[in-house]
Every structure is written in structure tokens, then in C-alpha cells.
Chains A and B, each alone.
Chain A
Amino acid sequence: MNQSQDNATSAATWPRRRFIAATAAAAAGAAGLPARAQFRVEISGVGATQVPLALGAFRNESIAGVRISDVVRADLLRSGLFRLIDHIEPLDERSQPVLADWRGRGADALVAGSVARLPDGRYDVRYKLWDAVKGEELIGQSQVVLPADLRLAAHRVADQIHENLTGERGVFSTRIAYVVQQGKQYQLLVTDADGEGAQVALRSLDPIISPAWSPDGKSLAYVSFESQKAVVWVQDTGTGQRRVLADFRGSNSAPAWAPDGRSLALALSRDGITQIYSIPAAGGTPQRLTSSRAIDTEPVYTADGKLIYFVSDRGGGPQVYRMPAAGGAPERVTFDGDYNISPSLSPDGRALAYVSRVGGGAFKLMSLELETGTVRTLTATRDDESPSFAPNGRLIVFATRVDGRDVLMTTTLDGRIKTRLLTSGADVREPAWGPFGR
């Protein structure tokens, strides 16, 4: 994206961003602003197949606090899979567009919709999607939502367009948790997958690391140092209720939910060196899963719950290994390089994202195709950390450093399309992409 386009985008989105900051501040009270943030496309893939889609403003959308079509447009653009054809035709979901004309304007598909305010204060968001090539209607839908869920409604529209036109589930209505440090203050934030609408789940004067979403997307496990040591907490994001999951002697860290949500794997140093244990989600007695004389940490479950991938330096430097979920003989997974950490598995179990120390002291996000052993470097940055797969497996969110600041970026699995979470004056890190549904 060149400079002038970038400026134009910033100017165009400024009023909306200001609005979001204002509502977030109202929600957060006097305690301080969450960082304003938004993921923007930084590097676009060249030659990727993009679906040309015509999208105009939804009728009456200016009555709501969120302009639905803007959110839908931004979502679809960020995916890299769509080319948007903007127009100012007065269309809505009840229109009967002449699809051949739209085909003539280069559109393969057309979206139109409307927003209406109901007497009870809720909004009815309606839309219809047409296939201009086949000349038929694909999907139409109405969502009645509270004002606070207007962005969610827009993301759901984008998800359905994505699924209908690409055959793959969209992740626009999912959420991402991450940690922001501003001076001495740490905040655990939960944001829409586009980086907007951030809300504070936890504000603390002590570090917070390693957030992990429960499979139902309702709770976050994380490590807080509020008691001057690493303790694992579980917090219901909706109610704010939190409880200690693991506070044993030494450090308690690296929580990872089992896919059934009934237990978590985590790293404890209660028996000396850091090892991997599992613990019931309700708390209780941990069961030791590894028994090495080296550091074993950063467990992650496969989607079927049968295996745990983890990091161990039993061979010297840290490498990724895997073992049966109940413990057992580990098998080494990474072989390139002498420092490979922070594994994240694609939902289909075919790809492993991890961070590798390469020449010159750089730390790079890598992907490993597990079947073939093909390793690929995904980034041009040097301080990559904490990769986390989107639930549809198309994107990875990770932390890195740009211009001396900790930032979040997303990348496609082929490394071609990247977005960066734009924030002001804060260090952002430790991203965790939430599951489908909320």
C-alpha cells in the first residue's frame, strides 16, 4: 500500500475510529482508554485470485452507530480474497437488480442490504447476496441485534459472504485476545478479529502473558504476576468472574485448553524444573505428563485431542516435540535450526506454525507442513513471537517488533498477505485467536 492510499484510508476511517474510542472509553469508565486499534492490509498478495464483488452502502445504515457496509467491506478486503467494486446505486435486500448489468460492470457477485431501528431500540440488519455469473440469489438474512452487537452483525454478514463465495468459513466474527503494555500498566484486551472494538478484560500493574481461549470462546486462561509470581487464572470474559487455576510452588504458566474444554495442559515448576502437567478445568490435582530433566513447556493440543505438541530443550536447544495427550514417549518434530519455540497447530492438524531463531539473532515465524516436512519462512520481520491460528486455518496472528514497538500482525499461510494492528503509543503482544462462535 503506498503512502497516498494509506493517508486516504486513514482520513476516511477517522470519524468511525473516533466513535469507537469514545464508546470504549464510556464502557471502560474513568480508568483509562484502551488502545485504539485496527488491522490494516500492509502487503497485498500479487496475482492471487480475487472475487470481484459489488458492495454499496446499506440503506439507512447511517442511523446506527456502526456503518455496516464499511465493516463488511474492510473485512472482505483484509482477507485478500475479494476485490470490491464500490457503487452508489440505491439498492437494498428487496431490490431486484439486473444481474447481467452487474456482470457487465465486472462483478461476479452483488451484496445489498438495509438497517432499521426497532421500537425496542434494537436494530434489524438485513442483506442479500446475488451470484451475478449464474444470475441467481445465493442467500438472504435478517439479524435483530442490540446496538452493542452491530459490529458483530456486520462481521456475520461478511462471514456468510466469505463462506458462500469461497466455500470456506470466514473468521470475521471471531475475537482475538492480546496484551497491551502502556508504561507500568498491563491490559488484557478482547477485540473483534479486525482489531476494532477492543474491550478490557483485565487491567493490572503486573505483567500478564499467555492468554488462551476456552473452546467455547467464553473464558480466557492466562498467566498473571499479580501475586509476584506466575499464577494461572481462568476468567469468564462476559461476567469478569475469575479464579485461580494453578498456584503451586514455583511458576505456573503456558495454559492450553484440551479441545473438550474439560482440562488444560500447562507448565509447572512445582517439582523443580519446568514440566508439563494437565489439570481439570475446575481446578484440582495436576497430573504430570512429561518427566525429563530439561525444560518442557508451551503445550498445545491437536484438534482431535489425541496429541500434545510442546517445547523441550532435552536435546540441547529448545525444539518442538509431540507426545500422546496422556503423556508417553515424545517424538521430535522440528529439526531445522537450534532454537524452535511457541508451536501453534492449524485446526486441520496439517501445519505447524512456530518461531525459529535464524542467522543474526533474528526470530522468524515459520510454517512446517507436517506431512511433507516442508518449512517456510513467513515474515520479513526479525522479532516474531506467539503465533496463533485463526479457527479456519487461513490466517496466523503473531507479535513482532516494528520501528521499536511491539505490534501484532496477521499473515496468510503462504506469507503473501499481511495486516498490521495499528495502535498508538502502546506495546501489544501475546495474541490468541478465539474459536468460532460467541
Chain B
Amino acid sequence: MNLRTHASWALLALAAAVAGCSSPVKLDEAAQVETRTPGSAATTPGGAAAAGTAQSQVATVDLARQRAAEEAAALAASLPRVMYFDFDSFVLRAEYKPAVEGYAKLLTGDRSRRLALEGHADERGGREYNLALGQKRAEAVARSLELLGVNTAQIEAVSFGEERPADNGHDEAAWAKNRRVELKGR
């Protein structure tokens, strides 16, 4: 785990260096990309002084940063928004390992990103205990992200227990869809 964490760090440090986004970007929205053309400053020489821009300024067009933002947006779009859990289980299924690594990459690449992890339980049993079970599932995802270098302050594990079922049915097929953690950008 240490080795991989270090490897991710190296990779992400690079990504962070080239990306360096400043505003929080929601994961489920396309990243906003600012494009400047070299002639834009020169076309308004009179207005430049009024706007406080020095006559000798050169605007930088950073294609690397642009590419990183595009890649982050593409990665965000490719990641699953829901992770399902087995009955009575709080262990992340192996199939979600790439997804967790993807979220970790996004979050470590942009420390201003925030992610809510909403745990849910199926309807069987008590509402308060189910709230705690949903919380435990959300915490499991949170721990996995923290192990990959995500700051605790970037994520919050919360729970809706059995209160917000994805499927309103009362059979195993419905319950399987309700034992889940939803990942929501904030």
C-alpha cells in the first residue's frame, strides 16, 4: 500500500503541478476551461490600462493545464456514482478498486474538490441501526480514499440509512440495489 501510495503521490503531484485549478469543480459537471488567445490582450490596447493590465503583459496559454482539466473531467465522468455492498457487509467489493483509485486521483489532484459519501442500507431492521450501517459503509469508502492520500477535510461520510431507497421494492433484488454508497461532488 505504501509503495502504491507513493507512486500515486508522485503521479498526482505532477498532475497537481500542471493542473493547479483554483475553483471548486463539481465532479458531475464538466470542468470549466478558460481559453485565451494570444491576440486578446492586444486587440484592446486602450481599455487595457483602464482595466489595470500592464502594456507589457504577456498572457500565457497553458495547454498542459487545459489538458489536465479535460482529463480530470473525463475521469470524473467515467467513475461510477454508486458502489453496492453485499448483505450484512461493509467491505468494498474488489470491482470498485479502480473507481476508488480514480476518485482518489481526482481529489488529490485538486485539493479544493469535495466529495460526499452517502451510505444507505436496505429496509430490513430498525431505522437507527440502519442509519449506523449506512454510515459504516460510507466510512469504509472514506477510509479507502484516505489511504490513497485524500485529505480528511475533502470528504464527508454521511448516511441516509433506509430512508432513501434507490428501489422501493421489498425483495432481495431491491435490497441489493439499496445497500450502497452514493458519491456526490459538493
Give chain A's interface residues, CB within 8 Å of chain B. Answer: 207, 209-210, 223, 225, 228-230, 249-251, 253-254, 267, 269, 272-274, 295, 297-298, 311, 318, 339, 341-342, 355, 357, 361, 363, 385-386, 429-430
17 A-B pairs in the complex with CB atoms less than 8 angstroms apart: A207-B164, A209-B127, A209-B163, A225-B163, A230-B131, A230-B160, A249-B156, A250-B139, A250-B156, A251-B158, A267-B128, A269-B135, A298-B126, A342-B126, A357-B125, A363-B124, A430-B127
* Known contacts A250-B135, A251-B131; A361/B126 CB under 8 A: no
Assess whether A210 is in contact with B127, with CB atoms less than 8 Å apart.
yes
Residues of chain B with a CB closer than 8 A to A272's CB: 139
Chain B: minimal CB distance from A317 (Å): 9
B157–A250 touching, CB < 8 Å: yes
Q: Mark B112-126, 1 if CB is under 8 A from A, else 0.
A: 000010100000111
B residues engaging A (CB < 8 A)? Answer: 116, 118, 124-129, 131-133, 135-136, 139, 156-161, 163-164
CA of A361 to CA of B126, assembled, Å: 13
Q: How far is the CA of A206 from the CA of B45 in the complex (A)?
A: 55
By secondary structure, the B interface counts as mixed
Q: Which residues of B contact A311 (CB under 8 A)?
A: 126, 128-129
- Given the complex, which residues of A lie within 8 Å of B131, measured CB to CB? 209, 223, 230, 251, 253-254, 274, 297
Determine how close the nearest CB of chain A comes to the CB of B145; give it in whole angstroms. Answer: 14
Q: Are B158 and A229 in contact (CB under 8 A)?
A: yes
Q: A207-B160, A267-B128, A311-B129 are in contact. List 8 more A-B contacts (CB 8 A).
A: A207-B164, A209-B131, A228-B118, A250-B139, A250-B157, A269-B139, A298-B129, A311-B128
Q: Which residues of B contact A429 (CB under 8 A)?
A: 127
State A225–B132 Cα separation when bound (angstroms).
Answer: 14
- Shortest distance between the CB of A59 and any CB in chain B (Å): 48
Contact between A297 and B128, CB atoms less than 8 A apart:
yes
Q: Which residues of A contact B161 (CB under 8 A)?
A: 209, 230
Q: Are A230 and B159 interface neighbours, CB within 8 A?
A: yes
Q: How near does chain B come to A386, taking the closest CB pair, in angstroms?
A: 7
Chain A residues near B136 (CB-CB < 8 A)? 273-274, 295
Given contacts A269-B139, A295-B136, contact A386 B158 (CB under 8 A): no
Report chain A residues within 8 Å CB of B139. 250, 269, 272-273
| Smallest CB gap from B152: residue in A | A249
Supposing A272-B139, A273-B139, A274-B136 touch, asked if A254 and B124 sit within 8 A by C-beta, the answer is no
Distance in angstroms between the alpha carbons of A228 and B139 in the assembled complex: 16
Assess whether B135 is in contact with A274, with CB atoms less than 8 Å apart.
yes
The interface residues of chain A lying within 8 Å CB-to-CB of B128 are: 209-210, 253-254, 267, 297-298, 311, 341-342
Contacts of A225 in B (CB 8 A): 160, 163
Q: Give Cα A386–Cα B131 distance, bound, in whole angstroms.
A: 14
User: What residues of B have a CB within 8 angstroms of the CB of A269 in the complex?
Assistant: 132, 135, 139, 157, 159
Q: Are A207 and B163 CB-contacts (below 8 A) given A273-B139, A339-B125?
A: yes
Q: Could you say which residues of chain B place their CB within 8 Å of the CB of A430?
A: 127
Q: Using Cβ atoms and an 8 Å threshold, which residues of chain B touch A295?
A: 129, 132-133, 136
Q: Which of A251, A253, A273 has the largest number of chain B CB atoms within 10 A? A: A251
A250 neighbours in B (Cβ, 8 Å): 135, 139, 156-159
Verify B163–A251 contact, CB threshold 8 A: no
In the complex, what residues of A have CB within 8 A of residue B135's CB? 250-251, 269, 273-274
